[in-house]
Structure 1
Amino acid sequence: MSAAGEYTYTLTRVLDAPVENVWAAWTQPEHYARWSGAVLPTISLDVRPGGAWSATMATPDGSEFPLTGTYGEVVENERLEVRMDLPGGESTLMAIDLAGEEEKTRIVLSQACANPEQRDMSEQGSGMLLDGLSAYVPTI
């Protein structure tokens, strides 16, 4: 296992929405902007293996910062691998696995990080993302 694989985390939630709505929330800019903190005119999501994505994220204090990356494995309504570019030419991979359970969706988000500090920050950020997603997807 690579060094990045040594510092991993996994978060699991059951969302009160069908899997198709959860997929739409991750893959359609107009939905993504509503829960992720991304600024709508800046969101570009080319959701296919090797496709690029970019977005400017807004923080609660009004700061903005750009994020970019690519997609790895893409299986509609089941799996989305999102690679995010990091400073210094490195990247990190986040996997989102979805499973429909009647009108609910089990989401498992996992990520491998380069060090414990990055893992802790990423896990906190991913928890906040899932909180926003949990609140948004029932409204779709």
Structure 2
Amino acid sequence: METGNKVTITVETTVQIPVEEVWKYWTEPQHITKWSFASDDWHAPNAENDLRDGGRFHTRMEAKDGSFGFDFSGVYDEVKIHELISYTLDDGRKVTIRFVPQENETKIIETFEAETDNPTEMQEAGWQAFLDNFKKYSETTNKA
């Protein structure tokens, strides 16, 4: 990774469920595999999550047609239940996610360091798509 000025990108959404439920859907592997992809032609066949300071996480993401896949993994730097998750990806980039309770809904604000291989607009759109997928999954699941 380049050590020059790092570009940070922020994406956000508001989920129409309380933070305790948002936290569960965001952090439990059986839920992560249901939303952790940007489009319907992808899936997350496996997720592991040791949610604690110093714990590791790993999610396998793959195109459903088998044409491409990658591992999304790293180490947690700080975890504050129902408030904050910060981690360092295996490529050295930092990510911070804030969960802001607002009565019966939760605002999620995710800030990440951009990588240098793809345009920042593409990265922002991709990470926003993950958040949008999370919102759709968690709101639908919570009503079930």
Q: TM-score when scaled to structure 1? A: 0.83
Match of 1:133? 134
What is the alpha-carbon distance in structure 2 between the residues aligned to residue 69 and residue 52 of structure 1?
Answer: 6
- Kindly report which structure 2 residues correspond to 1:60-99, keeping only aligned pairs within 5 A, or say none: 61-62=65-66, 63-86=68-91, 91-99=92-100
**What are structure 1's unaligned runs of at least 5 residues?**
none
Match of 1:14? 14
Q: 1:28-60, CA deviations, whole angstroms, 9 ceiling, x for partnerless residues?
A: 001111111321xx3110011111111211235
- Report the RMSD for the aligned CA atoms in angstroms: 2.0
Structure 1 residue 9, shift from structure 2 partner = 1.2
- In the alignment, does 2:69 pair up with 1:59? no
What is the alpha-carbon distance in structure 2 between the residues aligned to residue 118 and residue 74 of structure 1?
Answer: 30
SS in 2 for 1:23: helix
Give me the identity figure in percent.
30
Gap change, CA 1:118 and 1:24, over 3 Å in 2: farther
Match of 2:27? 27
Mapped contact 1:112–1:119 kept (Cα < 8 A): no
SS in 1 for 2:118: helix
The structure with more helix, counted as a fraction of residues = 1
SS in 2 for 1:117: coil
Q: 1:93-138, CA deviations, whole angstroms, 9 ceiling, x for partnerless residues?
A: 1111011111100111111225483633432221111110110111
What is the alpha-carbon distance in structure 1 between the residues aligned to residue 51 and residue 24 of structure 2?
Answer: 11
Match of 1:47? 51
What is the alpha-carbon distance in structure 1 between the residues aligned to residue 122 and residue 14 of structure 2?
Answer: 23
In the alignment of these two chains, the number of paired residues is 132
Mapped contact 1:69–1:84 kept (Cα < 8 A): yes
Q: TM-score when scaled to structure 2? A: 0.81
**What are structure 2's unaligned runs of at least 5 residues?**
38-43
